[in-house]
C-alpha cells in the first residue's frame, strides 16, 4: 500500500470532508478555517474563503454540477460552483446543526440536523423542507442515498440507522451493539448500506429490510469515522483514533494501514478522480492511498 500526503492547508484549517467534483477535482471542507478547497491531482490546491466561523463540514456533488456543503456552526447549507461562486441558504429551524448531506434520487439534496432531530431537504433552487424524526436527542449524522430509492442516515445517539423515503416516511432500525454511536454511512456495491460505529470499533452492514451484520475492527479503540465504496467492491474507512485507513470486503475481511504522520486525525474519505482513495486529515493534508 502506498500512502502519500499532500498538504492543502495549515494545521489550523482542519480538512474534514472530501469528495470528487464534476470537474475532475477533489473538493474538501476546512472545518476550522472556514473555507472550501479544491485540489486537482498533480497541481497546487486552491482555497475559497467563507465566514471563518461557519464550520463547513460535509461536502457532496449536487445534481446541478455544483458542490453542496453543510455549515455546522452557521446553520446553513452552502453551494459552490466550479468557478468558485458561493451561495448560502439559511435553514428554518434555528441552531439546527446541519451535518451530513447527499444527493437524493429526486434531484434534491438531503441533509441531517444534529441538534434538531430532523432530516432536511433542499432543492437546487434553495427551497427547504424539514421532516421530524420519531426520536429526541438522536443526533442524526451522516446520510447517503440507498439503492432502494430512499435516504439512509445514522442516528449517533439513538444507536440506530434510519431511512426516509421520498414521501417523508421514516423508519428506524436499532443496532445490536449498545452505545455503538454510528457516524459515517455509504451505499455499498452489494445494495446494502455500510456504516461505522465510532464508539464500538466496528463496521456495520445493513440490508434494505433492516438486517444488520457487524464486523469488529482489529483495534476496537480505533474510532472509525467515515466510509466510502472503493474501486474493487470493498468499502474503505478512516480510523480517527487509530490514525489509519482500512478496507473491508463484503464477507468481512478487514485490512488496515497506518498513515505516515502520527495523530493526523483522518476524517472524510472518497474515491478520487484518479482511481485512488483520498482521505482528509484534519492536521492539514489530503492522503492519497493506492495499492
Q: Catalogue all structural domains in the chain, each as residue range(s) with its CATH number.
A: 2-290 (2.130.10.10)
Binding residues for Mg(2+) are 265, 282
Q: Which of 100, 108, 211 lies closest to 156, judged by CA? A: 100
Q: Return the pLDDT at 291.
A: 84
CA distances from 119 to 94, 169, 231 (A): 14, 11, 30
Place of cell 474519505: 269
Burial code of 67-103, b = ≥16 C-beta within 10 A, e = fewer? bbbbbbbbbbbbbbeeeeeeebbebebeebbbbbbbb
Backbone angles phi, psi at 66, to 5 degrees: -115, 170
Residues 246, 235: contact at Cβ < 8 Å? no
Q: Radius of gyration (Cα) for the chain, nearest Å? A: 17
Residue 76 confidence (pLDDT): 98
Choose the catalytic residue: 75, 173, 189, 267. Answer: 267
> 247, 231 in Cβ contact below 8 A?
no
Could you give the CA distance from residue 103 to residue 123 in angstroms, rounded to a whole number?
10
Q: What share of the chain is helix, strand, coil (3-state, %, to 5)?
A: 0, 50, 50
Q: Which residues pair with 224 in a beta bridge?
A: 239
Give me the pLDDT at residue 12, please: 86
What's the longest Cα–Cα distance across the chain? 47
> What is the C-alpha to C-alpha distance for residues 78 and 75, in angstroms, rounded to an integer?
10
Binding site for substrate, by residue number, is 225
C-alpha triplet 278, 236, 221: angle, nearest 5°: 105
Residue ranges of the annotated binding site are: 225, 265, 282
Residue 195 grid coordinates: 456504516
Q: And the C-alpha cell for 80?
A: 459552490
pLDDT one digit per residue (tens) for the chain, 291 residues = 999 999 999 888 999 999 999 999 999 999 999 999 999 988 999 999 999 999 999 999 999 999 999 999 999 999 999 999 999 999 999 999 999 999 999 999 999 999 999 999 999 999 999 999 999 999 999 999 999 999 999 999 999 999 999 999 999 999 999 999 999 999 999 999 999 999 999 999 999 999 999 999 999 999 999 999 999 999 999 999 999 999 999 999 999 999 999 999 999 999 999 999 999 999 999 999 998
Active site annotation includes 267? yes
Amino acid at each position: 500500500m502506498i500512502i502519500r500526503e499532500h498538504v492543502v492547508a495549515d494545521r489550523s484549517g482542519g480538512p474534514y470532508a472530501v469528495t470528487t467534483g464534476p470537474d475532475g477535482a477533489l473538493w474538501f471542507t476546512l472545518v476550522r478555517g472556514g473555507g472550501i478547497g479544491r485540489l486537482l491531482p498533480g497541481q497546487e490546491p486552491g482555497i475559497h474563503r467563507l465566514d471563518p466561523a461557519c464550520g463547513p463540514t460535509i461536502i457532496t456533488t449536487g445534481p446541478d454540477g455544483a458542490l453542496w456543503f453543510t455549515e455546522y456552526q452557521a446553520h446553513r447549507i452552502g453551494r459552490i460552483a466550479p468557478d468558485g461562486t458561493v451561495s448560502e441558504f439559511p435553514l428554518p429551524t434555528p441552531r439546527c446543526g446541519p451535518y451530513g448531506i447527499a444527493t437524493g434520487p429526486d434531484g434534491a439534496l438531503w441533509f441531517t440536523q444534529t441538534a434538531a432531530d430532523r432530516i432536511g431537504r433542499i432543492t437546487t433552487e434553495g427551497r427547504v423542507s424539514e421532516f421530524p424524526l420519531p426520536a429526541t436527542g438522536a443526533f442524526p449524522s451522516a446520510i447517503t442515498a440507498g439503492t432502494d430509492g430512499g435516504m439512509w442516515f445514522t442516528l449517533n445517539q439513538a444507536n440506530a440507522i434510519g431511512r426516509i423515503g421520498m414521501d417523508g416516511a421514516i423508519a428506524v432500525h436499532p443496532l445490536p451493539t449498545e452505545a455503538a454511536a454510528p457516524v459515517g454511512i455509504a451505499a455499498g456495491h452489494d445494495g446494502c448500506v455500510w456504516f461505522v460505529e465510532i464508539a464500538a470499533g466496528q463496521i456495520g452492514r445493513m440490508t434494505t429490510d433492516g438486517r444488520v451484520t457487524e464486523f469488529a475492527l482489529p483495534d476496537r479503540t480505533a474510532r472509525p469515522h467515515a466510509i466510502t465504496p472503493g474501486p474493487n467492491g470493498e468499502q474503505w474507512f478512516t480510523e480517527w483514533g487509530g490514525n489509519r485507513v482500512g478496507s473491508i470486503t463484503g464477507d468481512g475481511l478487514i485490512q488496515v494501514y497506518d498513515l505516515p504522520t502520527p495523530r493526523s486525525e483522518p476524517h472524510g474519505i472518497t474515491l478520487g478522480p484518479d482511481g485512488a482513495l483520498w482521505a482528509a486529515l484534519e492536521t492539514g493534508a489530503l492522503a492519497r492511498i493506492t495499492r
